[in-house]
A and B are shown apart, each in its own frame.
Chain A
């Protein structure tokens, strides 16, 4: 086995897999080191919602650019990714949220993203099971759904087809120009790319990451009872809050006819076990918006850890004070969507090409206390 690579990627989640695919296609000798299975961590725990989000301008730019990249990738073999072009219907409960839907529509429109305001009557025509009394919504047709572990495996397969190696091992430390594996072996590389989600912090304790745990539940198959991914507009208030526990109505149709029910946010919970009280609160929220859900059978519930940064944007680029180490982590709840854009940004920086979108908002150095402003 070779022990020196152009690029050594730590973590074969969706972000590491996308980076491997991008760099291997660029002709680099790439290795991906994964301690468990491809796409088995936070990648497997998420919803796989390919969604444009506009919490901030950089978030909008990265998610919309990434969504275009997904459209190109999915066009090749959509069924293999379990792709469902269901769109997102943002649900407005009251006049205040309807005003937010209008503002959101204007922001999307300014960035060339098609969306359509939906009055109450059309809301119920689209989704008859929503509770009465809602104000309307915003339909975003270009959003869609994939099955992230499958997509991660397909990206790894593409990387392998371009010569990348996948090494089954645990990295226990970063070394100058390489990594130390748990079995004592050292691998060296021109560039080490840390793409380990929340676990990246175990190797680089200075990273400003915090685990934001989420719960999801999946039902039996009930085909066609919802058509769009349904998300309450109140989600925006709860999603990026930097403290406190919260839940939001967020229900997704799967290609199998199952429904994926979310969502929750809890800081600093170290256990991966299901918190029954939080699960109950999340399901109650879902039933408030869609009472018929109470009649369905949930077959499984689980949790995952979103790697959150203080400003809600990922860390993409050179690590500060660690020459040769690059970061591709901190994607919070948007890592599936933004994996492809992340890989393009990282590759452009590594190879000295011009970046497809401005790289500055995601540069890790913004958190370097030695040089950061204010």
Chain B
């Protein structure tokens, strides 16, 4: 199976081509994507781009929906929950 390499919170991981960023996060064991306004850790809920809980920073762009973005070679993913 074809693989792509992405970097999640500074840690490289190789995932199946076509995986969503949310799937890569799950494979990497990163359960929390962002923090709410009160600082609570949040995680993906719907998986279909509706709940907005899966937002992460992708290649420097904040608030991308990780469940709606496919992993691409060399992609840099940062979760607010890791900050």
Residues of A within 8 A of B (CB): 220-222, 256, 295, 297
Contact = CB atoms under 8 A, between A and B. Distances in A.
Contacts of B62: 220, 222
Q: Looking at chain B, what size class is its interface with the partner chain?
A: under 10
Contacts of B63: 220-221, 297
Interface-centre pick from A220, A221, A222, A256 (highest chain B CB count, 10 A): A221
Contacts of B55: 220
Interface string B53-65: 0010000011100
B52 to A, nearest CB: 8
A221 B61 contact: no
B54 to A, nearest CB: 13
Contacts, number: 9
B37 interface: yes
Nearest to B61: A295
A256 B37 contact: yes
Nearest to A223: B62
Given A220-B55, A220-B63, A256-B37, 6 more contacts: A220-B62, A221-B37, A221-B63, A222-B62, A295-B61, A297-B63
A220 B55 CA distance: 10
Contacts of A297: 63
Contacts of B37: 221, 256
Contacts of A220: 55, 62-63
Nearest to B55: A220
Interface-centre pick from B37, B55, B62 (highest chain A CB count, 10 A): B62
A171 B6 CA distance: 62
A256 B39 CA distance: 12
Q: Which 6 A-B pairs have the closest CB atoms?
A: A220-B63, A297-B63, A256-B37, A222-B62, A295-B61, A220-B62
A222 B64 CA distance: 13
A295 B60 CA distance: 11
Interface string B13-28: 0000000000000000
A322 B27 CA distance: 73
9 contacts: A220-B55, A220-B62, A220-B63, A221-B37, A221-B63, A222-B62, A256-B37, A295-B61, A297-B63
